[in-house]
Every structure is written in C-alpha cells, then in structure tokens.
Amino acid sequence: MSETRYTDQHEWIRLEGDTATVGITKHAAEALGDVVFVEVPSVGKAVAAGGEAAVVESVKAASDVYSPVAGTVTEGNAAVEATPSTVNEDPEGAGWFFKLSGVNKADFDKLMDADAYKTFVDGL
C-alpha cells in the first residue's frame, strides 16, 4: 500500500514500503509551464528534509526541487532528464524525480495529505 503526502513547496512524496518517491505536483508543473531541463540527484546522495535535491527548468523559470524528508537517494529518474516534458505530461506519475531510502515515517506523517494540500492550493 502506498501513501502520498505534499509540501508547501509543491513537492509530493509517495511512501511504498521502505522506498519513497519524490516529484513535483501537478500545480507546480502547470505553474512552471513547459519543462525543458531536469537534473536529478546522484545515487548515494544524502538529502536533508527541506534541502535542495534536484533542479527543474522551464521556459518561464528555473527552480530547485526540495526533498520533503531526509533520506539517501537510491535512484534518480534518468527518463525525465532525457525527456523533461514527462514532468508536464505526468507530474505525479512517470514524471517523478528521485527515490529515497532511510525515510523517517514520523517526518513523512507531518506532511500534508491530499485534502490538506488541495485546501492549501485553493487558498493561494
């Protein structure tokens, strides 16, 4: 069973067993516009909660992608580096950025659930 949470910086994190997958939300992808470049972190990189982990650039802007929780990168999504438009086409699916291990479930549980994130976005 997987569970997805969200940050106020518009990242999502999906926890499946001991692996967490991280990407940007549909709201963030739409705000960025056409994504033209993605840089994912290297395998083995330790990331802090709220720390810079990846980079996404669009025709409008360049943005850092922050890790919602602390962990160690186990995989970067080479497919989005090769085809950045995947982030626009499927931001909360195939457009993921990186996977983490060593995630503290208590930190994950502090993030917004889908309903709280929707309320947050509606208030922007």
The pTM for the full model equals 0.96
Q: Domain map of the chain by residue range?
A: 2-103
Q: Is the pLDDT of residue 1 over 80?
A: no
pLDDT tens-digit series, residues 59-74: 999 999 999 999 999 9
Nearest to 96 by CA among 4, 1, 8, 34: 4
pLDDT tens digit string along 31-69?
Answer: 999 999 999 999 999 999 999 999 999 999 999 999 999
Q: How many residues does the chain have?
A: 124
> At the top level of CATH, which class does the domain 2-103 belong to?
mainly beta
